[in-house]
Amino acid sequence: MTETLFQFFLISQVRQLANDGILGKSIKLTKGQAQWLKENSRFKPTTTNKIITCVNHILKFCKVQKIFNANDCISRLELRNVSGIEMFLKGHIKTFSEDMKRKRTQKELHFIAKKIHEREEKVSENLIIALKELLGNENVITDLNERRYFSQDVFDEGKIVTAIIQPKNLEQLRKAISIITNTGIAIYPRGGGYSYTNSYLSVTDYGISLDLRKLDDIIEINTKDMYVTVEPGCTWEKLDKELKKYSVRCEFWGPLSGYKSTVGGGISQGSASLGSAKDGISAESVLNLDIITSNGEIFSTGSSAQKNKSPFFRNYGPDLTGIFCGDCGALGIKARITLRLQNRATMTQGLSFGFETFDDLLNAMSKISSTNRVTECFGFTNRAMESVMASQGLWNDIKLMFAVGMSSSGIFGGLIQASKMAFYGRRFLKDASYFAHCVVEGYNKYEIKGNIRTIRKSIKGLGIDLPNTMPTVMRSAPFAPYPVVGVNGTRMLPFHGIIPFSKAVEFHNELEKLLTKYKKDMSSVGMIVPAMFNTISTNGFLYEPVLYWPDKPNEFHEIHTNETILSLMRKNSENHAGRKLAKILFKEIVSLMHKKNSVHLQIGKVYPYMTDRSSINIDMIKSIKNKVDPNNLINPGTLGL
């Protein structure tokens, strides 16, 4: 058996058992594994037995040492290669039965733990020195407050990372990745840090946060072949501003967090918003990727994979680009991203409608999306509308009125809209329970009018017309600094499911029932649950409940929130019960979503991706992971890997 196969098989056994929560018990081969070994003539039964013996010894040892996590097992016992495994077995097999008979005392266990800790500390100290040499002191951060901040996302926190590195070019990035993984320490890639699914949070005792924001160059804007290539740390706002100069735009052109969030983050975890009603999610605009594996090698997908590189086209044979979109960084580090361009429309017009019932809202959004005439189509419950409007501070900002005037269909049309906005204010919130807002684009007023006519016709008899304040303002400042907390000083947990239109009403009704069941618990922690909706191209309905509850801010919130909201938040006491309830509701609601065929973007470490895949699907993902990151050192735990 070759070294890699032996190691792979052994380690995957350990990992599988850890995933199943039974590290510490002995193993039996499954029928499939036995068959696999039998069919492969190179593996004699003695070898198979040897593997089982090895794995069993390792697992028993883990039990004695109270190691219940595969990564800890592999790094603590130094099982990263065959010689490591042999060393371990030499040292332990003979004495093992003795060990089992004589359970170690607490003192002995503490001593062993201390030794392991000291060795790991030494490795990480040496690693920091090497990284400082490579990147310069200023690009390797070890300050505790910073490490704490980088160990938190919008909702949760992970283990505190050992250091944060900020490479400034591709060579530094490649070398840093290879140096870190050689020590057996995990890397957690991070873009703007604006996600809430533990996606870049550490799950290992030692871990390096890879902050990619200094790699933010726009490498090439090609208006002939209609693509743009960027480094991963470029924000969507920066990219869009630059593309505007060339009168072009990306198809999916950013999440609403795009003033901070990055192209690398959006493509890695999957985003929906600007452009999604017409062109789908972030992944659908990607042409080519350059990806760095855990040993620092770089490879390209799509037409860039050829010897004569040009990143202009995605498909040539099986679509490799797609596999790495939505991986949440588990399948390597994206170093360059090429996105498709389209001409920028010269005119936009917002449309707003109000509805009494969710059924009517859904029906209308479904009909609008199937016309494929709108670039964005958002829906809101009444309460969600209030918070979005408040978060933009819309009503006091006279400058915004002028911005609106300039960005919509001509200055005159814009001024009419601006005055309508001023006249209606927020009174229309009383007129309906649900709202839909769309944006229509075109190159002249006839095209815009034609599109609007088609849309109105498609939803005839549904809902009422409202002033188009909301889509107009959203379009005039698409990357407004939306807060990472509720405007009244609450913490928030947004989450979503993309559900087929045909199942969305059933889901909505069951969600209402569930929320009624939890009404008392929610009111005891002060929680409310407004919801937002998005159409994704013609065939997906994104349902996004957002949980808000009063709570204290953490370091992450302190950095990303303005003083007015922070002063409200600081008055709250720690609301552990609120956070606990948020996790319970997340689980229950996601499980309801799954019953209605839901899928998710932004899987991170929280959506149950692996639990409802078929085994062949899981094997395929795992074998790709094994190819690009055999020791699971790039964002371990993500996607359930």
Ligand X SMILES: Cc1cc2nc3c(=O)[nH]c(=O)nc-3n(C[C@H](O)[C@H](O)[C@H](O)COP(=O)(O)OP(=O)(O)OC[C@H]3O[C@@H](n4cnc5c(N)ncnc54)[C@H](O)[C@@H]3O)c2cc1C
Q: How far is the CB of 8 from ligand X (least distance, A)?
A: 23
Does residue 604 belong to the site contacting ligand X (CB under 6 A)? yes
194 lies in the binding site for ligand X (CB under 6 A): yes
Question: Which one among 15, 80, 238, 334 touches ligand X, defined by CB under 6 A?
Answer: 334
Task: Provide the CB-side half-sphere exposure for 419 (13 A, CA).
Answer: 5
Q: Is 158 in the site for ligand X (CB under 6 A)?
A: no
- Interface region with ligand X, contact rule CB under 6 A, candidates 77-85, 220-228, 259-267, 518-526: 259-267
Stretch touching ligand X by CB under 6 A, among 86-94, 254-262, 315-323, 448-456: 254-262
Cβ closest to ligand X, residue 124 vs residue 152: 152
Alpha-helix residue ranges (DSSP H) falling in 554-614: 555-560, 563-570, 576-595
> Which of 75, 152, 271, 632 lies at the binding interface for ligand X (CB under 6 A)?
271
280 φψ region: left (φ > 0), alpha (ψ -120 to 50), beta (else): left
Burial bucket for residue 148 (CB in 10 Å: 0-12, 13-18, 19+): middle
* Alpha-carbon gap, residue 366 to 327, rounded angstroms: 28
Question: How far apart are the C-alpha atoms of 266 and 314, rounded to whole Å?
Answer: 18
- In angstroms, the CA 190 to CA 178 distance is 17
User: Per the structure block, which two tokens stand in for 309?
Assistant: 């590189």
User: In this complex, which beta carbon is closest to ligand X, that of residue 37 or of residue 603?
Assistant: 603
CB of 275 to ligand X, least distance (A): 11
Contact pattern from residue 553 through residue 592 relative to ligand X, giving x for each residue in contact according to CB under 6 A and a dash for the rest = ----------------------------------------
497: left (phi over 0), alpha (psi -120 to 50) or beta: beta
* Binding of ligand X by 471 (CB under 6 A): no
Number of residues that bind ligand X (CB under 6 A): 35
Looking at the Cβ atoms of 409 and 602, the one nearer to ligand X is 602
Segment lying near ligand X (by CB under 6 A), choices 67-75, 257-265, 452-460, 461-469: 257-265
CB atoms within 10 A of CB 109: 14
- In the complex, what is the shortest distance from the CB of residue 622 to ligand X, in angstroms, rounded to a whole number? 18
The verdict on 207 binding ligand X (CB under 6 A) reads no
Minimum distance from residue 414 beta carbon to ligand X (Å): 24
The stretch among 10-18, 183-191, 523-531, 584-592 that binds ligand X (CB under 6 A) is 183-191
Using CB atoms within 10 Å of the CB of residue 30, give its burial: 0 to 12 exposed, 13 to 18 middle, 19+ buried. Answer: exposed
For residue 187, the minimal CB distance to ligand X (Å) is 9
**Strand intervals (E) in 356-433:** 374-381
Regarding 328 and contact with ligand X (CB under 6 A), the answer is: yes
CA gap 352, 230 in Å, rounded = 35
Q: Residue 567's Cα: distance from chain center in Å?
A: 29
By beta carbon distance, the residue nearest ligand X is 265
Residue 530: other Cβ atoms inside 10 A: 21
- Contact status: 268 vs ligand X (CB under 6 A): yes
Q: Closer to ligand X at the Cβ: 266 or 379? A: 266
Cα 113 to Cα 123: distance, rounded to the nearest angstrom: 15
Residue 385: how many CB atoms within 10 A of its CB? Answer: 23
Of the candidate spans 111-119, 159-167, 187-195, 304-312, the one that interacts with ligand X by CB under 6 A turns out to be 187-195
Q: Stretches 59-67, 118-126, 156-164, 263-271: which one binds ligand X (CB under 6 A)?
A: 263-271
DSSP letter, residue 294: T
593 and 507 Cβ atoms separated by less than 8 Å: yes
Within residues 479-538, the interface with ligand X by CB under 6 A covers: 482, 484
C-beta neighbour count of 556 within 10 angstroms? 22
Site string for ligand X, 214-253 (x = CB under 6 A): ------------------x---------------------
Instruction: Determine, following the binding rule CB under 6 A, whether residue 266 of this chain makes contact with ligand X.
Output: yes
Q: What SS3 class is residue 632?
A: coil
**Contact flag: residue 164 with ligand X (CB under 6 A):** no
Closest listed residue to residue 338, CA positions, set 291, 272, 297: 291
Residues 32-91 that bind ligand X (CB under 6 A): none
Residue 174 lies near ligand X (rule: CB under 6 A): no
Cβ atoms of 214 and 166 within 8 Å: the answer is yes
Question: Residue 289 or residue 459: which is nearer to ligand X going by CB?
Answer: 289
Task: Write down the residue that tokens 């726009």 correspond to.
Answer: 218
Query: Which amino acid is present at 183?
Result: T
| Gap between the Cα atoms of 378 and 213, Å rounded | 29
Q: Which is nearer to ligand X, 190 or 508 (CB)?
A: 190
Residue 192, interface with ligand X (CB under 6 A)?
yes
Stretch that binds ligand X, among 63-71, 190-198, 440-448, 456-464 (CB under 6 A): 190-198
Task: Give the number of C-alpha atoms closer than 13 A to the C-alpha of residue 201, restricted to the C-beta side.
Answer: 24
Interacting residue with ligand X among 124, 151, 172, 269 (CB under 6 A): 269
Residue 220 beta carbon to ligand X: minimum distance, rounded to whole angstroms: 18
Considering the rule CB under 6 A, would residue 167 count as an interface residue with ligand X?
no
Binding of residue 151 to ligand X (CB under 6 A) = no
Task: Give whichever of 173 and 585 is closer to ligand X, judged by the CB atom.
Answer: 173
Do strands 163-165 and 140-141 pair parallel, antiparallel, or not at all (unpaired)? antiparallel
- Reported as half-sphere exposure (CB side, CA atoms, 13 A), residue 278 has a value of 15
- From 73-81, 184-192, 413-421, 563-571, give the range in contact with ligand X by CB under 6 A: 184-192
- 589 close to 608: Cβ distance less than 8 angstroms: no
CB-nearer residue toward ligand X: 494 or 578: 494
Segment contacting ligand X by CB under 6 A, of 63-71, 94-102, 109-117, 264-272: 264-272
Count Cα neighbours of 284 within 13 Å in the Cβ-side half-sphere: 18
In this chain, which stretch among 121-129, 189-197, 367-375, 570-578 interacts with ligand X, using CB under 6 A? 189-197
Interhelix angle 45-65/3-19, rounded to 10 degrees, is: 50
Q: For ligand X, which is the closer residue by CB, 303 or 635? A: 635
Q: How does DSSP assign 173-204, residue by residue?
A: HHHHHHHHHHTT-EEEEESS----SSTT-B-S
Residue 274 · residue 259 · CB < 8 Å: no
Shortest distance, position 582 Cβ to ligand X, whole Å: 15
Q: Least distance from C-beta 449 to ligand X, angstroms?
A: 29
For ligand X, the binding residues (CB under 6 A) are: 154, 189-195, 199-200, 212, 232, 255-257, 261-262, 264-266, 268-269, 271-273, 328-329, 333-334, 482, 484, 602, 604, 635, 638
